[in-house]
Structure 1
Amino acid sequence: MYPGITLFHLTIPSYWVMALIGAILSFLFVHIRKRKFHIPGDDVTHIFLFCVVGGIIGAKLLHLLVALPNMLAHLDVMNTQPDLWTDYFLNGFVFYGGVIGGFLFALWYCKRYRIYFLEACDLFTPILPFFHIFGRIGCFLAGCCYGIPSSWGFIYPHETVTRLPLPLIEAACNIMILMILLLFEKYCSPRGYHLPFYGILYGITRFVLEFFRGDSARGICLLSTSQWISIAVVLGSVIWMIWNTKRLERIKQQ
């Protein structure tokens, strides 16, 4: 693992380095994609920035919400060790929270400036798995989100057993999801289906992968928080697809 990268005597967390690389390449990717859509370049940039801000806020808030029971259970210890408070507030982000936050911020921008939201969703959806590839590589370098003990894999910091490199497996899954989305867009993609299609693909993938997570319990009723969110995402995506299909049928009849 490489939790930190040292540049000019300054150590930067590997996760943030990968997140920054992913964000820069995602910005370039979305501007290459905009040629196929009817959204002005300035608005594409603004929506991207809103997604970044909303994503960071949402990812942090959901992390704090998930960590709240543990924080309350160890409140006496945390009050004697202020560094623990700093660690909770500066480190730890939940991907689903980032997606929700970015979605809400983008929705507000599109409503405020009269941008066709479904087209914006179609434009930006492939950016999600694209950025997530770099995010999961960052997780691997940081030594977090590791998998269950396995006969093959890596020995993580502070561990004595070999564990599945689950972040790398999820990065590979995101590559496949990205390729499927691009093929879907090229050959059979009416307007408004990109985001729910991604929601179904990633929701199912994440639900399965969570069974192989090896870090501490992060949920209730035998399922992790991310698994419960995955179920909601898949159901919501199916409802979105049904709604969009009926919407397109009404347009054809007019």
Structure 2
Amino acid sequence: MHPELFSIGDFTIHTYGFLIMVGATMGFLYMSHVANRDLDIEKDKIQNLAIMVIIAAFVGGKLFFYLENPGYYFSSWSNMKQNFRTGFVFYGSLLFAVPLIVWYFRKEKWPLWPLMDRLAIAACIIHGLGRIGCFFAGCCHGVSTDVPWGVTFTDPVSQAEPLNTPLHPTQLYSAGLIFGILIILLMLKRHNRFEGQLFFIYIILYAVGRGIIEIFRGDEERGYIIDGVLSHSQFISIGVIAITVWAYLRFKKRARFKKK
């Protein structure tokens, strides 16, 4: 596609980074608006949180990306520098950002689960646009295919492999999944049965969808627990689904008990 949006001299704006920036801005604006409107939280404090979350998500996503092939990436700085702007693992970002968010909410004495529900919607906005960015960069690409909607990447800067061959547009599958989850969350928002429900649904639906989309992924370097059968992300998805379903049922039962 178009990995580079435009260049001014030696300075290049990458489409992936630009879309992440747009998503982060939109997510921040949504979160600061609803937190101020619904919970009377100052927008400045949401801004501070946003900066910390961006840093944590970057570090976690990058670290998990390197851990997919640690022998290669940690062997030299030049290897780590490769794909520095585009190679990220969502679960790494999630596992680094969520504890930070919980700590910050507790520190500020904000209601945790009502904010996590709103954060799930903001996360879908950021995450969905990020996946479209992946499509333009060519990373997270699919296996070769003969389906009518296969996408052929031709730009030599693209990370898709192989070039000039129709591939499953797994980045768009992921974006469609995430924006579909966003629509579901917005529909359920008015009928939320217990605090934390939207956050749990977001995590469960994404983990299930991610596990399925992994079947069509062609970037073999992301690594496998069982070669060609169970990828790292599928393995993490299984654990995430199990823990989140357990938490969902527990919170639901607790909410039902309180109503009695």
TM-score, length-scaled by structure 1: 0.88
- 2:143 touches 2:218 (CA, 8 Å); kept in 1? yes
- 2:35 touches 2:115 (CA, 8 Å); kept in 1? no
- Residue by residue over 1:104-131, the C-alpha shift from the partner in whole angstroms, topping out at 9 and shown as x without a partner, is 1101111222122112201201112211
- Are 1:155 and 2:156 counterparts? no
Pairing 1:89-108 to 2, within 5 Å after superposition = 89=84, 91-108=86-103
Q: Which moved more, 1:151-160 or 1:16-25?
A: 151-160
What is the match of residue 38 of structure 1?
39
Pairing 1:170-249 to 2, within 5 Å after superposition = 170-217=174-221, 218-221=223-226, 222-249=229-256
Letter in 1 for 2:22: I
Measured at CA, do residues 47 and 85 of structure 1 come closer, stay the same or move farther in structure 2, by a change above 3 Å? closer
Letter in 2 for 1:220: I
What is the match of residue 117 of structure 1?
112
Other structure's SS at 1:37 match: helix
Q: Which whole-Å CA distance do the structure 2 matches of 1:87 and 1:198 have between them?
A: 31
What is the match of residue 52 of structure 2?
50
Q: Which whole-Å CA distance do the structure 1 matches of 2:172 and 2:86 have between them?
A: 20
- Residue by residue over 1:119-171, the C-alpha shift from the partner in whole angstroms, topping out at 9 and shown as x without a partner, is 22012011122111111111111111111111232222452321111111211
- 2:5 touches 2:13 (CA, 8 Å); kept in 1? yes
Q: Which moved more, 1:88-97 or 1:218-227?
A: 88-97
Shift of 1:91: 4.5
Shift of 1:89: 5.0
- Structure 1 residue runs of 5 or longer lacking an equivalent are none
Q: Which whole-Å CA distance do the structure 2 matches of 1:132 and 1:66 have between them?
A: 20
Between the aligned residues of both structures, percent identity stands at: 28
Pairing 1:111-150 to 2, within 5 Å after superposition = 111-150=106-145
- 2:72 touches 2:79 (CA, 8 Å); kept in 1? no
Q: Which whole-Å CA distance do the structure 2 matches of 1:14 and 1:55 have between them?
A: 19
- Structure 2 residue runs of 5 or longer lacking an equivalent are 155-161
- Residue by residue over 1:178-214, the C-alpha shift from the partner in whole angstroms, topping out at 9 and shown as x without a partner, is 0001111123442121111111111110000000001
Structure 1 stretches of 4+ moved >6 Å: none
Measured at CA, do residues 17 and 90 of structure 1 come closer, stay the same or move farther in structure 2, by a change above 3 Å? closer
- 1:37 touches 1:123 (CA, 8 Å); kept in 2? no
What is the match of residue 2 of structure 1?
2
Letter in 2 for 1:96: Y
Q: Which whole-Å CA distance do the structure 1 matches of 2:232 and 2:224 have between them?
A: 4
- 1:148 touches 1:213 (CA, 8 Å); kept in 2? yes
RMSD of aligned C-alpha atoms? 2.1
- 1:54 touches 1:104 (CA, 8 Å); kept in 2? no
TM-score, length-scaled by structure 2: 0.86
- 1:203 touches 1:233 (CA, 8 Å); kept in 2? yes
Shift of 1:7: 4.3
Aligned residues: 246
Shift of 1:177: 0.6
